[in-house]
């Protein structure tokens, strides 16, 4: 579990899914660094890139690894610190009303079949638990933080996702 979360504001139930992409170090997959970042146990000296993110306290609700493994860091009832400064359909502070799903990947590397299968299954389950979340309430991190974020990037196949959840 991640300590990088807190209570949602009163009455703020999940109404939005935010899809992210992350790799640590950038462009490298399969290591423990993402989990270490989300649990505040990353060795900041283990890679030169980590100096740029030193002290960052972030998390997501879920991480979908390249092999389709799903790891939960924050319960959906709590606010994970995944979106940062953000805006969606006239509302800011998207962390208040969203569920963040990180995909292990980067903007340019295609995501795996296993990741799409896992993500589709997760979204279907979340939609059952939170009926306000439909395909129209799924956004990229880049959509809610334009100019600041680019993930999950052009390598993410939105049509494949929508075909799978419909």
Q: ω before 25 within 30° of 0 (cis)?
A: yes
pLDDT at 78: 98
Q: What global pTM score does this model have?
A: 0.96
Distance CA 54, CA 18 (A): 24
Neighbours of 121 (CB within 10 A): 15
The correct answer on CATH 3.40.80.10 for the domain covering 5-31+58-165 is yes
**DSSP H/E element including 100:** strand 98-104
The residues carrying an active-site annotation are 102
Residue boundaries of the structural domains of the chain: 5-31+58-165
Mean pLDDT by groups of 10 residues along the chain of 166 residues: 97 96 97 98 97 96 98 98 96 97 97 98 97 94 96 97 94
pLDDT at 138: 97
Cβ burial of 7 (10 Å; 0-12, 13-18, 19+) is exposed
pLDDT at 63: 98
pLDDT at 166: 85
Question: What value does the CA radius of gyration of the chain take, rounded to a whole number of Å?
Answer: 15
Burial 81-108 (b: 16+ CB within 10 A, else e): bbbeebebeeeebbbbbbbbbbbbbbbe
């Amino acid at each position: 579990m991640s300590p990088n979360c807190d209570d949602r504001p009163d009455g703020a139930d999940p109404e939005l899914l935010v899809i992210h992409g992350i790799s640590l170090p950038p462009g490298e997959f399969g290591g423990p660094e993402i989990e270490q970042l989300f649990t505040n146990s990353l060795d900041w000296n283990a890679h030169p890139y980590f100096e740029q993110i030193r002290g960052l306290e972030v998390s997501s609700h879920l991480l979908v690894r390249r092999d389709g493994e799903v790891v939960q860091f924050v319960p959906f009832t709590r606010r994970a610190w995944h979106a940062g400064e953000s805006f969606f359909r006239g509302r800011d502070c998207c962390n208040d009303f969203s569920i963040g799903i990180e995909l292990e990947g980067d903007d340019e590397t295609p995501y795996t079949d296993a990741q799409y299968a896992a993500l589709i299954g997760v979204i279907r389950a979340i939609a059952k638990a939170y009926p306000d979340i439909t395909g129209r309430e799924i956004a990229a991190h880049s959509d809610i933080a334009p100019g600041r974020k680019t993930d999950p990037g052009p390598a993410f196949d939105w049509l494949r996702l929508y075909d799978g959840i419909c």
